[in-house]
């Protein structure tokens, strides 16, 4: 396995997800759990020149629920660590802060929900947003539809998390 590159650049994918009543499909909704997940992956491909197989290599996964930490590590290879996650959404801005036990994956991001997507950063290997099929990378858009809004609340932790699913 080697890093997948484009124009001599490598890529990292970070996914931040607030779940709502997540459960196996055969469980009733009331048994579902609300929790936060963060995942850090790098784009890879098989080293063989005859292979076109590409994928994501898991660098780290975090969750804010002890149950997800334990069961996720038993049933998956995601190597979950525990974190504290705070998501705030005031309708104009989405803010997410993650604090990890070891401090190695602490993260704070914010996105403007009522504006156009940000331009590509200076020095980007891309001239513009790429068409589908080149790399599994897309230009991010924080324009969200109200129908996909997810309010994520956990009173037992004496804090309110709000996030939008997109």
Range of the domain at 118: 2-164
Domains in the chain, number? 1
Q: What is the pTM of this model?
A: 0.70
DSSP notation for 38-71 = EEEEEEEE-S-TT---EEEEEEEEEES-HHHHHH
In this structure, how many other beta carbons lie within 10 angstroms of the beta carbon of residue 30?
Answer: 7
**Cα 150 from Cα 32, distance rounded (Å):** 15
Helical segments of 111-163, H only: none
Element (H, E) at 75: helix 66-75
Tens digit of pLDDT at every position of the chain (166 positions):
888 888 888 888 899 998 889 888 899 999 999 999 999 999 888 877 666 788 889 999 999 999 999 999 999 999 999 999 998 888 899 999 999 999 999 999 998 888 777 778 888 887 776 544 544 443 333 333 222 223 233 322 322 333 333 2
């Amino acid at each position: 396995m080697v890093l997948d590159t484009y124009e001599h650049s490598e890529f990292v994918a970070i996914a931040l997800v607030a779940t709502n009543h997540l459960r196996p499909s055969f469980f009733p909704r009331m048994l579902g759990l609300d929790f936060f997940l963060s995942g850090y992956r790098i784009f890879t491909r098989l080293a063989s020149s005859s292979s076109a197989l590409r994928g994501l290599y898991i660098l780290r996964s975090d969750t804010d629920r002890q149950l997800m930490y334990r069961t996720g590590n038993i049933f998956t290879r995601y190597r979950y660590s525990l974190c504290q996650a705070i998501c705030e959404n005031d309708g104009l801005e989405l803010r997410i802060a993650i604090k990890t036990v070891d401090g190695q994956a602490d993260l704070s991001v914010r996105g403007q929900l009522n504006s156009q997507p940000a331009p590509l950063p200076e020095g980007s290997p891309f001239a513009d947003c790429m068409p589908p099929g080149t790399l599994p990378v897309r230009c991010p858009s924080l324009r969200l539809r109200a129908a996909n809004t997810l309010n994520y609340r956990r009173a037992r932790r004496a804090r309110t998390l709000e996030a939008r699913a997109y």
